[in-house]
Amino acid sequence: MALKGLDIFKLTPKTNCKECGSPTCMAFSMKVAQGAVDISKCPHMSAEAMATLSEATAPPMKSIKVGTGEAEYTLGGETVLARHEKTFVSKTRFAVNVTPDMDIDAVLAEANKVEYDRIGEKMHAEMVYVACNGDAAAFAEAVKKVTGKGKTIILDCKDPESAKAALEICKAEKPILNGANASNYEAMVEIAKAAEVVLGVSGADINELYDTTAAIEKLGYKELVLDTTGANVKDTFATTVQVRRACLAKDPDRTFGYPSIVNLSKVAPNDEPMQIALASVFVLKYGSIVVMDTMNYARALPLFGLRQNVFTDPQKPMKVEPGIYPINGGDENSVVLTTVDFALTYFVVSGELERSGVPCNLAISDAGGLSVLTSWAAGKLSSTSVSKFIKEEVEPKIKCRKLIIPGKVAVLKGDIEAKLEGWEVIVAPNEAVQLVKFLKDMQANGEI
């Protein structure tokens, strides 16, 4: 990443032909230096210049694609260590751990019960991790059972012959072969190359992991993921953090520029709360794939919510779909409350409404995904936008003519009332937490 815009400019044809989409070669070079466009966009670059440049401008951490079809996922490709510096790009994926002695169909069926829909994103355990216990035939049987189930397969197998046999069964699904270590990597690289699958590398400690990865790169194979699982929780955390930190440092060490696998079934077996706690830590701190005993809602609700939060782009607010959300069995005769489509506002407000137990309708209008005061200041939440939304979307569906508006925009009350004939506009308290008492009082007084 050391190349500056000017260094790149020297290698361009300097003809300002605009074929790359930029107005001048200089502008193009600047964008390449920032990582905004790929060097290959320039059709006139000489082959040597291209080779120099792609090496120097390659991202410090590789993006690795695994799986096929709907179960294809991109891992890695991160550019920062903290999300506020830019954004995290490739979500942590969750894998369910199975071994040949388990009733694999039952384990998968249990995990597949989780299909969690949250702010328009459907989430489930994306991968399955099959560990070989030394019996090649049993392992092959197990691999057969996880193949064709719509989950990306990770084969944990250090024996080249068993690995080869397992890949024969499932290689079409682009699994990860998590099998290379210091003693077998040459054979494993051959197998992974032949099957065109991503190879997982592990080591007894971080130094062995480093040396083995370097040796594999020397053999010319760079489709890798690093199994950063250590002997215990502490080692696993230390290795996972140091690997990521090395490749995203100012002076990046690209040998560690690969996604990671963290296996909690190894370091915290059969301990659900501990696996949830540790999985949360590794969602924040650099786990690309987290392997757990199973997936159920006790795990999915916090982990998928956390992941959704942490992997949002700080520059793009999270939005909910505009529309009418009935709460506590609200129907066409229930009171209407309105607020903005900023996801955080929606969650806080709907949570408080649920706690109140009062049946109501939460009407969310499009406010550009901004909070109440911000969208009001930006002109995206106004008496016009609210009254238009109520007239077009709410009036045809809801009979109740009482509208509660956020306390922070109490100033809009008069204007909205003037624009909405037949509606009574009520101002809510300033803070969502006060809604519970506010609604309960209204209900007790017979106002709603």
The residues of the shown chain that bind other proteins, judged by CB under 8 A, are: 82-84, 113, 118, 206-207, 209-211, 214, 232-234, 237-238, 241-242, 245-246, 249, 253, 255-256, 271-274, 276-281, 283-285, 296-299, 301-306, 308-310, 312, 314, 343-344, 347-348, 351, 354-355, 433-434, 437
As measured in angstroms, the least distance from the Cβ of 362 to other proteins is 13
As measured in angstroms, the least distance from the Cβ of 135 to other proteins is 31
As measured in angstroms, the least distance from the Cβ of 320 to other proteins is 12
Collapse the DSSP code of 80 into the 3-class scheme (helix H, G, I; strand E, B; otherwise coil) and give the result.
coil
As measured in angstroms, the least distance from the Cβ of 18 to other proteins is 39
Which residues share a beta bridge with 225?
200
**Residue position matching structure tokens 């959704």:** 308
Using the minimum distance from each CB to other proteins, give the nearer residue, 5 or 116: 116
CA dihedral 300, 304, 306, 310 (to 10 degrees): 160
Using the minimum distance from each CB to other proteins, give the nearer residue, 1 or 281: 281
Q: Which residues of 337-371 are buried (b: 16+ CB within 10 A; e: fewer)?
A: bbbbbbbebbbbbbebbeebebbbbbbbbbbebbb
Using the minimum distance from each CB to other proteins, give the nearer residue, 50 or 347: 347
Sequence-ordered list of residues with C-beta below 8 angstroms from that of 44, at least 6 positions apart, any chain: 12, 13, 15, 17, 19
Using the minimum distance from each CB to other proteins, give the nearer residue, 172 or 377: 377
How many CA atoms lie within 13 Å of 382's alpha carbon, on the beta-carbon side? Answer: 6
CA–CA distance from 332 to each of 234, 301, 355, 360, 446 (Å)? 55, 30, 20, 9, 17
Collapse the DSSP code of 340 into the 3-class scheme (helix H, G, I; strand E, B; otherwise coil) and give the result.
coil
As measured in angstroms, the least distance from the Cβ of 305 to other proteins is 2
As measured in angstroms, the least distance from the Cβ of 49 to other proteins is 30
Greatest alpha-carbon span in the chain: 80
3-state helix, strand, coil in the chain (%, to 5): 45, 15, 40
As measured in angstroms, the least distance from the Cβ of 300 to other proteins is 9
Using the minimum distance from each CB to other proteins, give the nearer residue, 50 or 241: 241
H-state helical runs in 322-382: 343-356, 372-377
Using the minimum distance from each CB to other proteins, give the nearer residue, 47 or 82: 82
Using the minimum distance from each CB to other proteins, give the nearer residue, 55 or 313: 313
Sequence-ordered list of residues with C-beta below 8 angstroms from that of 448, at least 6 positions apart, any chain: 334, 335, 358, 360, 402, 439, 442
Using an 8 Å Cβ cutoff, are 107 and 96 in contact? Answer: yes
As measured in angstroms, the least distance from the Cβ of 123 to other proteins is 11
Q: Are strands 127-131 and 121-123 parallel, antiparallel or unpaired?
A: unpaired
Using an 8 Å Cβ cutoff, are 154 and 129 in contact? Answer: yes
Q: Are strands 176-180 and 127-131 parallel, antiparallel or unpaired?
A: unpaired
As measured in angstroms, the least distance from the Cβ of 307 to other proteins is 9
The pair of three-digit structure tokens given for residue 247, joined into one six-digit string: 């490749």
Using the minimum distance from each CB to other proteins, give the nearer residue, 79 or 99: 79
As measured in angstroms, the least distance from the Cβ of 393 to other proteins is 24
Using the minimum distance from each CB to other proteins, give the nearer residue, 285 or 413: 285
Using the minimum distance from each CB to other proteins, give the nearer residue, 193 or 355: 355
